[in-house]
């Protein structure tokens, strides 16, 4: 798993906010942020096909959103498991 950069505690809120808005421009985040909304149009297909497509898109969106949370939980578990 790639190492996540941390921000120094004395960094100003403005600098943190600016770097936060730059997140979608890094790596695979930009194509994902473009493709997921476009794929949501699959829900407009008629009948069960549209409902199934919509459910699959929501599952993919949820999985994409859960990734940073999983990384944070893993990092906290490593901190707790390592002897101080």
Total residues found in the chain within this entry: 84
Q: pLDDT band at residue 82, thresholds of 50, 70 and 90?
A: confident
What are the helix and strand counts (H, E) for the chain? 3, 0
Task: Kindly tell me if the per-residue pLDDT of 31 is higher than 60.
Answer: yes
pLDDT of residue 48: 92
- Residue 1 corresponds to which tokens in the numbers above? 């798993």
**DSSP conformation class of 8:** -
Task: Kindly tell me if the per-residue pLDDT of 59 is higher than 60.
Answer: yes
Q: Say if pTM beats, i.e. exceeds, 0.75.
A: no
pLDDT of residue 5: 67
Q: What is the CB-side half-sphere exposure of residue 74 using CA atoms within 13 A? A: 10
Provide the residue ranges of all domains of the chain, joining segments of one domain with +: 28-81
């Amino acid at each position: 798993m790639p190492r996540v950069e941390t921000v120094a505690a004395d960094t100003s809120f403005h600098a943190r906010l600016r770097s936060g808005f730059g997140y979608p421009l890094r790596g695979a985040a930009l194509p994902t942020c473009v493709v997921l909304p476009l794929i949501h149009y699959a829900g407009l297909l008629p009948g069960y096909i549209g409902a199934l497509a919509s459910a699959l898109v929501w599952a993919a969106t949820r999985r994409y959103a859960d990734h940073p949370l999983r990384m944070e939980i893993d990092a906290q578990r490593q901190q707790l498991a390592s002897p101080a």
